Amino acid sequence: MMKMTDPALLRSVSKPGRYAGGEFGQTVKDPASVDASFAFCFPDSYEIGMSNLGVRILYGVLNREENIRCERVFAPWTDMEDRMREKGILLCAHESGEPVKDFDFLGFTLQYEMCYTNVLNVLELSGIPLRASERDDSWPIVIGGGPCSYNPEPVADFFDLFNIGEGEEMLPEIVRLYIRMKKEGATKAEFLHEAAKTIEGVYVPSLYDVSYNPDGTVAAYEPVFDDIPRRVRKRIVADLDTMYFPESVVVPYIECVQDRIMLEVFRGCIRGCRFCQAGMIYRPVREKSPETLMKQAKTLYQNTGYEEISLSSLSISDYTRLRELTDGLIGWTEDKRVSLSLPSLRIDSFSKELMDRVASVRSSSITFAPEAGTQRLRDVINKNVTEEDLMRSAGIAFGSGKEQIKLYFMNGLPTETEADLDGIADLANRVVDEFYRTPGHGKRAPLVTVSVSCFVPKPFTPFQWEAQDTVGRLIEKNRYLAGKITNRKVRYTHHDACVSHVEAVLALGDRRLSRALELARRRGFRFDAWDEFFSYDRWMEVFADSGIDTAFYANRARGEDEVLPWEIIDCGVTREFLLREKHRAYSGKTTPSCREQCSGCGAVCLGGKDICCPKMK
């Protein structure tokens, strides 16, 4: 049978380099020399998947185990998929070209909800039955992880197991257990039970029964065995300095979205923005030392040849030893013509000195994220930045010759009024005025781009109980704002409200959504994260035909005593804290950062070395 790497096939598709393999840094192992094989799938195109730091780390983590073989899998682009279906070609892993279905494990990293149809498509193209209940012991064990696994329920029926939290230690433990039990002749069911019982962070959906109330809300989760946890606590790596971090990574030949060294500086965020899921689920904040980071950066540079290093974190300027780190890096990067980029700068800590030091801000434009147009709403969401911060940062940027500034906002935030939307337009106008007020500004006219996304309530945030605005209302707000932005030096762009609605349904859903996803797959849905393939009307038809009321999931405010589908997971941050934060939002009260004062979020229970949580000190 023809394989995905067949030259005749590769000649017939766009960007064949996506499937060719052979990149520097890939790990190729002899199947006969290992005890378990793991196909690690990023369910999107090669260029997106190869940009993910988690894939790079976990690929290395598994392959450094002598008896485990990990290979990469990506969603084939639509032209390749069409050819595969036409010729009956099965989806293959990148390194060996071996069919995915022949691996012991198929792991998916779930980075965004809109990739769910690709997950099912990858299963289908691999010839693997979609539902876990339809797969006997002969099929690979299908594992999920990544941020979306904090509410795994909409896709729970398709997975055998989820690893909740950080995988560096947990994933090898799972595979090692599998190897041991396979040798002992255990069944898949026995392995799943043992994993759920003994490995912290393992969630096996089939081992938990869900009951529902007459009103459709979740009544309870009940474990089917007494010896597995009632709630699955997320796993963290305690010490980032000693944690595995790849010293070499696969260097793609074809251009990827993130084509540079990604140096992970710290995990978690001290800020506590109330809409932000990452800021909650990655707690507690744990930092790497500059010494570790310097060593890792140098080794990665030597082993990859990349000419850019991006300091990766949720908010880089909150790194306590940033000056030390940038000084140390610049000490050799300038000589080597390696540029540094800091992709997540906050406007309250942006400085001219920092700007002068890093390459990413040497381009003609710079991005800031005030998120809301008025101080009142910024306080509601706990953004903790002021208009003065923004004007000061914009002034620094304009004074250094920049002419373009991009501002990120959200609409549909809880308590939002017309005044807040007016505030977005006013703020943009004031940034334009700041340009002309700044001595030494550029000669060309300024351009302020206002980019507005729609608020999507996310699990494990203080806004998890909130109703999302209806699509109609979001569109109305987008139109209203478009009418308010009349300044020719301000450009307005906004996200598609329809995509945000489907995203909310999938983010906040329960197990009943699996039938909609299955139907979506049967109707050929794929690459829904890509505008050119997303069809709102077809999604609404799928939801309607599978008996799903999208408003129940997306547009309904949840009761504070309601059992939420994702509460089978314990992410460390407590429900009490989230509720407290919700109430503070409605009173317009901000909460200080973890570094200023402990707000008692609960993540301290997870432990961790060098965390910023004052309770640990």
Partner 1 sequence: MLPENEMINEHDGEYPSLPEPRTVRLRFEKTGSLQFISHLDLQRSAARILTRAGIPLWYTKGFNPHPKLVFAMPLPIGCESVCELADVRIDRDMDCGRILDGLHRGSSGGLRFTECYIPERPFRDIAWARYGIRIAPGELMSPAGFAEKAAAVMSEKPLTVIKHGKSGDRLTDISGMMKDIKISCEGEETLIDLFMSATEGSTLSPAHLLGALTSRLGVPGPDTGYSAMRVCMTDAEGIIFR
Q: Which amino acid is at 121?
A: N
Least spacing, CB of residue 371 vs partner 1, in Å: 34
Q: Which stretch binds partner 1 (CB under 8 A): 6-14, 134-142, 406-414, 467-475?
A: 6-14
- CA separation for the pair 531, 529 (Å, rounded): 6
Indicate whether 25 belongs to the interface with partner 1 (CB under 8 A). Answer: yes
Give me 268's structure tokens. 């978690």
Q: Give, as ranges, the residues between 268 and 297 that touch partner 1 (CB under 8 A).
A: 291, 294-295
Q: Give, as ranges, the residues between 248 and 267 that touch partner 1 (CB under 8 A).
A: 251, 253-255
What mask of x and - would describe binding to partner 1 in positions 453 to 472, judged by CB under 8 A?
Answer: --------------------
Least spacing, CB of residue 19 vs partner 1, in Å: 8
CA atoms within a 13 Å half-sphere pointing along the CA-CB vector of 595 = 12
Of 73, 24, 120, whose CA–CA distance to 516 is shortest?
A: 120
Neighbours of 438 (CB within 10 A): 19
Nearer to partner 1, 20 or 482 (CB): 20
Indicate whether 324 belongs to the interface with partner 1 (CB under 8 A). Answer: no
Tokens 């002309």 map to which residue?
436
Give me 62's structure tokens. 């598994």
Nearer to partner 1, 16 or 343 (CB): 16
Give me 498's structure tokens. 């329809």
CA atoms within a 13 Å half-sphere pointing along the CA-CB vector of 305 = 6
Q: Site for partner 1 (CB under 8 A): which residue of 1, 7, 30, 183?
A: 7
- Degrees, nearest 5: CA angle 149-126-63: 65
Q: Could you please report the per-residue DSSP string of 463-490? A: TTTPPPPPHHHHHHHHHHHHHH---TTE
Region label for 151, one of left (φ > 0), alpha (ψ between -120 and 50) or beta (otherwise): beta
Indicate whether 592 belongs to the interface with partner 1 (CB under 8 A). Answer: no
Indicate whether 118 belongs to the interface with partner 1 (CB under 8 A). Answer: no
- CA separation for the pair 27, 33 (Å, rounded): 13
What mask of x and - would describe binding to partner 1 in positions 206 to 245, judged by CB under 8 A?
Answer: ----------------------------------------
Contact 502, 542 (CB under 8 A): no
Nearer to partner 1, 23 or 433 (CB): 23
Q: Give, as ranges, the residues between 163 and 182 that touch partner 1 (CB under 8 A).
A: none
Contact 442, 376 (CB under 8 A): no
Least spacing, CB of residue 235 vs partner 1, in Å: 25
Q: Which stretch binds partner 1 (CB under 8 A): 304-312, 499-507, 579-587, 606-614?
A: 304-312
- CA separation for the pair 584, 601 (Å, rounded): 14
Indicate whether 304 belongs to the interface with partner 1 (CB under 8 A). Answer: yes
Element spanning 67, H or E: none
Indicate whether 22 belongs to the interface with partner 1 (CB under 8 A). Answer: yes
Indicate whether 337 belongs to the interface with partner 1 (CB under 8 A). Answer: yes
Nearer to partner 1, 293 or 424 (CB): 293
Nearer to partner 1, 3 or 479 (CB): 3
Nearer to partner 1, 299 or 317 (CB): 299
Classify residue 353 by its DSSP letter.
H
Q: Site for partner 1 (CB under 8 A): which residue of 27, 258, 289, 303?
A: 303
Contact 492, 485 (CB under 8 A): yes
Q: Site for partner 1 (CB under 8 A): which residue of 29, 298, 495, 556?
A: 298
Dihedrals φ, ψ of 71, to 5°?
-130, 160
Interface with partner 1 by CB under 8 A: which residues? 5, 7-8, 10-12, 16-17, 19-26, 247, 251, 253-255, 291, 294-295, 298-299, 301-307, 332, 335-337
